[in-house]
Amino acid sequence: MAGRPEDSISSVLLLGLAATLGLTFALDVRRLDAATGPAPLVQSVRARSTVAYQGEQIVVTWEGTTHTVASLVQVEHDPPDWTQLDYLALGPSRRFTVIRRPGSEIRFDPQRRTGITTTGLNSEEDIFESAHLPWLLENYGITMVPDELLGRRATRIVLVPEIADRPSRTLVVDDVTGVLLRSERVGPKGSLGEVTTFLRFEVKPAGWRKTASVPTGLRLTPQLAVRAATAEEVARVLGGPPVQVAVPEGFHKTGDYLTGEGPPVVQIYSDGLTTLVVYQRRDSVARPPEGSELVATSSGPIWVQRLGLRTLVHWSLAGKNVTVVGYATRTSLQAAAERTGITAAPRLWDRLVTWLREVMDWF
Amino acid sequence: MHLSHELTAYLDGTLTAEEASVVAAHLAECTECRTTLDDLRAVRSLLHTAPPIRPHPAALSRTLARIAMVETRQTVPQWLIAVATMAVGIALLLQLRVPTAPRQSNRVSALWYFQQQAEFAAVHPMADVTLTSYLSSALPYETFPEWPAAQKTR
């Protein structure tokens, strides 16, 4: 049926209007989701860049059944220009100090006065409410109850994952300032993985460390910078497009980066609360890190290693080595590797060729 | 029925008396066999008239040498067989698929991966709003190259 031109124009206009309204509505819903996110959660992220304080924290991490790392940390926080963390490790570890200033961070041994300086990634606080919070609301069930810590009124936020392959998190947020007073990460089987809690907390006026400066006489080694990479750069470094890793459900990619050491391409994923890191290197032979356990799958070998609540999975696919590290169970990351695809174990011939190539490169 | 082989034997005199009498009786009655017998006798007479030819004195040695050469050509040297076998063996060996063993020399250690993950996680807005926790996962030892290895806890 042939219609009049006026009818067609009207139809197009109506469709355009409907699409515009739909898009606007969708954006509104997204904004609404972000805006209606749990206020203490949003407040705690905002507090990091707005509230000045001083305190002492204890940080305990269980890295397996026998190994525990514990540190006592003196904290001086005066955003945005000064944050100093003095780590006094409980046990055989050494003391060290971290000073964060806009765009840079130094870590040094206060006794030997040596350390490193780095220009790491900037915090992603700015995009929390627009990007991470919707993912967090999608992936975690949230319950909040009134609480009290260090004599301060607080809110206890419990974040339980919809998919039981990652840790749940309990946060205790100060009602007045929004500062996170205590954080617990609990594994899928209920084991406590990490605890960070203030033993002493004191709110300070903004600018209270305005005159602070980095100690003189430090011998600092610059650490190779990590920088954001374009798709073209990634393809050039890997000799082709990167492996599209079938990450566990709920994780969203936040960026590609190039590093100066280790596997050169790093892809970061987030489920709104935790970070999953994918490393890729151009190499035909898998190079599993020491201590990894070999797991034979029907497609090929993968290597797995656990550290506390985190899992490392390494395998080879399409001439690239892939290593994934994140807060997810071993089963979940193994399944991710199998969904992505695994190259069979390398032939001795492949290893010989790789070795010859390395010898050639060396010369 | 006509005779063939029996005629040659009859001429050579290798038949028994009984067989010879049977052949003779047949020849007496069969014209065609008698003609064949005459032809055989004629051929034999002709061969006896041909002059004898002596072979060249070196013919035997030459022939033996050529036989030896042919035998030499057809025999593959043992070293060649050994090399070929070894080459095939190596080729098959190189096709073996053996998973790589996890090693410290594999460019980066597992600890490096975990530390890096902690570093990247530190920029996550929800990862460590307490500021301190991320370094609990990223022990400083690996990031302080000047520190002696003895200070490392693992």
Tell me: the pLDDT tens digits for A83-130? 998 888 776 666 788 898 887 888 888 888 888 887 755 655 567 888
For position A175, what pLDDT does the model report?
Answer: 93
Q: Which of A127, A290, A348 sits opposite B96 (nearest CB)?
A: A348
Tell me the helices (H) and strands (E) count for chain A, helix number first: 6, 20
SS (H, E, C) A67-109: CEEEEEEEEEEECCCEEEEEEEEECCCCCEEEEEECCEEEEEE
For position B103, what pLDDT does the model report?
Answer: 66
Chain B, residues 66-105, CB within 8 A of chain A, namely 93-104
Per-domain residue ranges of chain A: 39-222, 227-362
CA angle B45, B51, B56 (to 5 degrees): 140
User: C-alpha B14: how far from its chain's center?
Assistant: 52
* A123 Cα to chain B: minimum distance (Å): 4
At the topology level of CATH, where does A227-362 sit? Phosphorylase Kinase; domain 1 (3.30.200)
Beta bridge partners, A75, equal A55, A85
% of chain A surpassing 90 pLDDT: 38
Mean pLDDT for chain A?
83
Q: Is the pLDDT of residue A11 over 80?
A: no
Beta bridge partners, A276, equal A269, A326
Total Cβ atoms within 10 A of residue A203: 15
For position A54, what pLDDT does the model report?
Answer: 95
% of chain B surpassing 90 pLDDT: 12
Q: Is the pLDDT of residue A256 over 80?
A: yes
Q: How confident is the model at residue A2 (pLDDT cuts 50, 70, 90)?
A: very low
Q: Is the pLDDT of residue B117 over 90?
A: no
Q: How confident is the model at residue A28 (pLDDT cuts 50, 70, 90)?
A: very low
Q: Where are the alpha helices (DSSP H) in chain B?
A: 5-12, 17-29, 31-49, 59-74, 78-94, 110-122, 133-137
First to last CA, chain A: 75
* pLDDT tens digits, B16-74: 999 999 999 999 999 899 999 999 888 888 888 888 788 888 888 998 888 888 776 76
For position A55, what pLDDT does the model report?
Answer: 94
% of chain A surpassing 70 pLDDT: 84
Beta bridge partners, A18, equal none
Q: How confident is the model at residue B106 (pLDDT cuts 50, 70, 90)?
A: low
Identify the top-confidence range among A101-110, A168-177, B1-10, B45-54: A168-177
Query: Where is pLDDT greater, at B25 or A38?
Result: B25
Q: Which amino acid is at A289?
A: P
Q: Give the nearest chain A residue to B116 (CA atoms).
A: A277
Q: How confident is the model at residue A249 (pLDDT cuts 50, 70, 90)?
A: very high
- Token look-up 């395998």 returns A315
B contacts of A198 (beta carbons < 8 Å): 130
Q: Which of A180-194, A228-242, B110-124 has the lowest mean pLDDT?
A: B110-124
**In angstroms, rounded to a whole number, what is the distance separating the alpha carbons of residues A145 and A226?**
40
Q: Is the pLDDT of residue A15 over 70?
A: no
For position B144, what pLDDT does the model report?
Answer: 41
Tell whether B142 lies on the interface with A, counting CB pairs under 8 A: no
Q: Is the pLDDT of residue B153 over 70?
A: no
Whether A134 contacts A142, CB under 8 Å? no
Q: Looking at residues A3-12, what average pLDDT do you find?
A: 48
Q: Looking at residues A332-354, what average pLDDT do you find?
A: 87
Q: Is the pLDDT of residue A189 over 70?
A: yes
Q: Can the peptide bond before residue A205 be classed as cis, meaning omega within 30 degrees of 0?
A: no
Q: Give the nearest chain A residue to B130 (CA atoms).
A: A180
Q: Which amino acid is at A193?
A: G
Q: Is the pLDDT of residue A65 over 90?
A: no
pTM over 0.90: no
For position B4, what pLDDT does the model report?
Answer: 80
Q: Which of B113, B126, B151 sits opposite A279 (nearest CB)?
A: B113
Whether A173 contacts A154, CB under 8 Å? yes
B contacts of A180 (beta carbons < 8 Å): 129-130
DSSP state at residue A135: H
Q: Which of A100-109, A195-204, A212-221 has the lowest mean pLDDT?
A: A100-109
**In angstroms, rounded to a whole number, what is the distance separating the alpha carbons of residues B100 and A116?**
33
Q: Is the pLDDT of residue A12 over 60?
A: no
Mean pLDDT for chain B?
76
For position A30, what pLDDT does the model report?
Answer: 32
Q: Which of B102, B121, B141 sits opposite A288 (nearest CB)?
A: B102
Q: Is the pLDDT of residue B85 over 50?
A: yes
Q: Is the pLDDT of residue B149 over 50?
A: no
Whether A285 contacts B100, CB under 8 Å? yes
Interface test with A, best of B129, B134, B143, B153 (most A CBs within 10 A): B129
Closest by Cα among A265, A262, A239 to A253: A265
Q: Indicate yes or no: CB of A123 within 8 angstroms of CB of B119.
A: no
Q: Indicate yes or no: CB of A94 within 8 angstroms of CB of B141.
A: yes
Q: Is the pLDDT of residue B152 over 80?
A: no
Q: Indicate yes or no: CB of A83 within 8 angstroms of CB of B131.
A: yes
Q: Is the pLDDT of residue A338 over 90?
A: yes
Q: Is the pLDDT of residue A346 over 50?
A: yes
For position A4, what pLDDT does the model report?
Answer: 46
- Token look-up 């100060």 returns A174
Q: Give the nearest chain B residue to A90 (CA atoms).
A: B136
Q: Looking at residues B120-131, what average pLDDT do you find?
A: 63
* pLDDT tens digits, B132-144: 555 544 444 444 4
Note the maximum CA span of chain B: 135
Query: Where is pLDDT greater, at A300 or B98?
Result: A300
For position B143, what pLDDT does the model report?
Answer: 41
Total Cβ atoms within 10 A of residue A44: 27
Q: Is the pLDDT of residue A183 over 50?
A: yes
Q: Is the pLDDT of residue A348 over 50?
A: yes
A contacts of B107 (beta carbons < 8 Å): 262, 287
Q: Looking at residues A286-293, what average pLDDT do you find?
A: 84
Q: How confident is the model at residue A158 (pLDDT cuts 50, 70, 90)?
A: very high
Query: Where is pLDDT greater, at A48 or B107?
Result: A48
**In angstroms, rounded to a whole number, what is the distance separating the alpha carbons of residues A178 and A17?**
42
Identify the top-confidence range among A15-29, A30-44, B3-17: B3-17
CATH superfamily for A39-222 is: Lipoprotein localisation LolA/LolB/LppX (2.50.20.10)
